[in-house]
């Protein structure tokens, strides 16, 4: 279920914009236009934190690789365990894509 605090016409438009992108290059171009470099780096960092948590890395290893604070790691972990499953969907699709490459 979508959180009603974020669901509105403008956020729908943003989600639709992401869904129409077809290549990594298009995605980079859009993200560069819509985010500051800091915002983009923070989003990328959180996704890597989620990936590392999902495969059992320790906080220390995650801090070392990503530079994320323990507060950020804790928040991402909370989202993985109790959130809307957004991270989990992405991580599962990454695994599926990787397994198709191996075959």
13 is a domain residue: no
- Alpha-carbon Rg for the chain in angstroms: 15
Copy the structure tokens of residue 56: 């059992």
What is the domain count for the chain? 1
What's the CATH number where 50 sits? 1.10.1270.10
pTM over 0.85: yes
95 is a domain residue: yes
Average model confidence (pLDDT) across the chain: 96
81 is a domain residue: yes
Which range marks the domain in which residue 42 is found?
35-102
The model's pLDDT over 7-57, given as tens digits with 9 standing for 90+, comes to 999 999 999 999 999 999 999 999 999 999 999 999 999 999 999 999 999
Q: Which distant-in-sequence residues (6+ apart) come within 8 Å of 18 by Cβ?
A: 27, 30
The mean pLDDT of 90-96, rounded to a whole number, is 96
């Amino acid at each position: 279920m979508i959180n009603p605090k974020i669901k509105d016409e403008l956020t729908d438009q943003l989600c639709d914009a992401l869904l129409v992108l077809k290549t990594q290059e298009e995605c980079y171009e859009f993200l560069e236009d819509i985010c500051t470099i800091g915002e983009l780096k923070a989003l990328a960092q959180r996704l890597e934190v989620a990936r590392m948590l999902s495969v059992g890395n320790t906080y220390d290893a995650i801090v070392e690789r990503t530079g994320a604070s323990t507060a950020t790691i804790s928040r991402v972990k909370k989202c993985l365990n109790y959130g809307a499953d957004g991270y989990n969907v992405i991580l599962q699709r990454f695994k599926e894509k990787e397994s198709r490459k191996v075959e």
